[in-house]
Amino acid sequence: MKLNWGHGVAIALGCFMIFILSLLFMAGDTGGMVTENYYEKELHFQDEINAEKRANALTEKPEILVQANGFLVQFPTSTKDDFKGDIFLLRNEDETKDIKTSIRLNDKKNFLIPSVKLIDGEYELTLNWKENNQTYLIKKSIRWISQ
């Protein structure tokens, strides 16, 4: 049997299709959603934008300090007693390493996330709190390196 140019085009096209299909199967899972309740969270997105604007407008903002013993969240001394808040540290590569906790301020208006809970790498920090019937939100990227 003699091969002509038509056979060569068909073989090349077949090899290309096999290559593309193998890439598809080898790629596997490209990742999941950041949150399971994505659509519910989308409904409250404008509330988050407003909370971020209120937090940016504050004259005294909470500070996140990286210390040897962990992340220290330091609120202004004018913070009221009706304060309620949560802090969420999101790890992009593994959701099992995420940290979510309620904030309990001490007498100095500080809250410490101990280094024992932290793993080296990048965290997406979300700090939200409610004070004087207003919600506030701060989002920032923060890096932890154990010492």
Render pLDDT for 5-42 as a digit per residue (tens, 0 to 9). 999 999 999 999 999 999 988 887 666 666 677 777 77
| pLDDT tens figures, 85-136 | 899 999 887 778 888 999 888 888 888 998 888 888 899 999 999 888 889 9
pLDDT for position 35: 65
Asked, for residue 11, whether it belongs to a domain, the answer is no
Nearest alpha carbon to residue 55 among 119, 146, 140, 124: 140
Instruction: Report how many domains make up the chain.
Output: 1
What's residue 29's pLDDT?
63
Report if residue 72 sits inside a domain: yes
Residue 46, domain member (yes or no) = yes
Whole-angstrom distance, CA of residue 100 vs CA of residue 126: 9
> Kind of pairing, strands 70-74 and 110-114?
antiparallel
Do the domain assignments include residue 96?
yes
Rounded to whole angstroms, the Cα distance separating 11 from 95 reads: 45
User: Is the residue at 10 inside a domain?
Assistant: no
Coil/strand/helix, residue 134: strand
Q: What is the pLDDT of residue 15?
A: 97
Q: Is 115 among the domain residues?
A: yes
Q: What is the pLDDT of residue 80?
A: 73
Task: Write down the residue that tokens 């330091």 correspond to.
Answer: 74
In a domain, 4, yes or no: no
Q: Would you say residue 5 lies in a domain?
A: no
Q: What is the CATH number of the domain that holds 44?
A: 2.60.40.3080
Q: The pTM is what?
A: 0.69
Distance CA(117)–CA(1), nearest Å, equals 70
Question: Residue 46 is encoded by which pair of tokens?
Answer: 């404008």
> The domain containing residue 133 runs over which residues?
38-144
